DNA sequence: AACGAACGCAACCGCATGCGA
DNA sequence: ATCGCATGCGGTTGCGTTCGT
């Protein structure tokens, strides 16, 4: 990328590379004082040797107080899959439906987990991780009943059905195996018959407003009351 | 324990779009 | 109408971390 200059160096007077805590502090103070926007004036007002673009990106992707930290949950993953099937690589649009998540984060997540050719390996890893975690849990709680889901005997027919739906709707990438496995896991955790990656959305909902209120991502049980309506386009 | 491969994520770039002068 | 600046977006890259052998 920036090979000639390297990270944390100056180019055209602008610093590049990883942000330091001091720089973050300056930027946060600036935004608290002046609000978001006018990014090009940040360097003049704060003394930060960062371009406006760089400041905006740092704020939007990392410093914003409303950002949600931590791993993408299976619910969020399902939403990402659904919305990607609907809108393609419109990451910012997808991100608006996932409060606290950034387009960059979602984009990275998608590329890592669902980019063509990566799903099988990820699915295997996810399965291995899950099995390992469950084994540890079982050791801790020896009275735990046997978990059928540990076998992850994937219902091939159902998965094929999902993939057919995606293909019929001219979606290049069928549903990821990892998502499917996560779905199996979620199905086990929540016995109510809900298909999280085929989650519903009432017809005619606006692209931004409805999802924000529909999904309370901290409340897994909430999923169970959603109608099961497919909405592929 | 060591090492290479794969992963995850922050940050950059170029281009598109919006908006005011 | 158009020009220039600011901002937003999607794609890409570099590097630290984790995982598997």
Predicted model pTM: 0.58
C20 C1': nearest CA residue:
A125
Footprint of strand B on the protein (CB under 7 A): A 1-2, 11, 15-19, 50-51, 53-54, 57-58, 61-62, 71, 104-105, 107-109, 111-113, 118, 121-122, 125
The verdict on A8 and A33 lying in the same domain is yes
Strand B: list positions under 7 Å from protein Cβ: 6-14
For residue A39, what is the domain's CATH number? 1.10.10.60
**A154 in a domain, yes or no?**
yes
pLDDT band at A115 (very low <50, low <70, confident <90, very high): low
**A30 in a domain, yes or no?**
yes
Question: Based on the structure, what is the number of domains in chain A?
Answer: 3
Query: Can you tell me the mean pLDDT for A133-156?
Result: 43
Distance A91 CA to B7 C1' (A): 21
Instruction: Tell me which residue range forms the domain holding A125.
Output: 74-143
CB A201 within 8 A of CB A78: no
Strand C: list positions under 7 Å from protein Cβ: 5-15, 19-20
A40, A63, A86 — which closes off a domain?
Answer: A63
Instruction: Pick the closest to residue A230 from A187, A201, A194, A205 (CA basis).
Output: A201
Distance A226 CA to C12 C1' (A): 38
Instruction: Pick the closest to residue A104 from A113, A95, A112 (CA basis).
Output: A95
The verdict on A155 and A225 lying in the same domain is yes
Query: Can you tell me the mean pLDDT for A151-168?
Result: 39
Using alpha carbons only, give the angle A174, A176, A180 rounded to the nearest 5 degrees.
115
Which nt has its C1' nearest the CA of A115?
Answer: B7
Distance A109 CA to B8 C1' (A): 8
Q: Does A11 have pLDDT greater than 80? A: no
pLDDT tens, residue by residue, A65-98: 888 877 888 888 888 888 888 888 888 888 888 8
The verdict on A87 and A23 lying in the same domain is no
Query: Can you tell me the mean pLDDT for A42-61?
Result: 89
Distance A38 CA to C6 C1' (A): 7
3-state secondary structure of A108: helix
Is the dihedral angle over the CA atoms A42, A43, A46, A50 positive or is it negative?
Answer: positive
Distance A53 CA to B16 C1' (A): 15
**A204 in a domain, yes or no?**
yes
Distance A120 CA to B12 C1' (A): 30
């Amino acid at each position: 990328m920036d090979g000639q200059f390297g990270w944390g160096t100056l180019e055209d007077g602008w610093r590049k590379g990883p942000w330091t805590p001091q720089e973050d502090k300056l930027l946060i103070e600036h935004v608290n004082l002046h609000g978001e926007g006018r990014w090009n004036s940040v360097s003049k007002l704060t003394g930060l040797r960062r371009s406006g673009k760089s400041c905006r990106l740092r704020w939007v992707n990392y410093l914003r107080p409303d950002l949600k930290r931590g791993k993408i949950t299976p619910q969020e993953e399902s939403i990402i899959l659904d919305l990607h099937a609907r809108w393609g690589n419109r990451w910012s649009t997808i991100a608006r439906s996932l409060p606290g998540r950034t387009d960059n984060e979602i984009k990275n997540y998608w590329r890592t987990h669902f980019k063509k050719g990566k799903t099988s390996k990820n699915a295997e890893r996810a399965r291995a991780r899950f099995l390992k975690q469950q084994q540890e849990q079982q050791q801790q709680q020896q009275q735990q009943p046997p978990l059928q889901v540990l076998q992850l005997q994937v219902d091939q027919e159902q998965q094929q059905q999902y993939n057919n739906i995606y293909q019929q709707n001219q979606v290049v990438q069928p549903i990821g195996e990892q998502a499917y496995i996560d779905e199996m896991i979620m199905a086990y955790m929540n016995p109510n018959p809900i298909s999280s990656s085929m989650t519903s959305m009432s017809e005619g909902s606006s692209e931004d407003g409805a999802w924000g209120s529909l999904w309370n991502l901290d409340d897994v049980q909430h999923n169970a009351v959603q109608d099961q309506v497919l909405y592929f386009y």
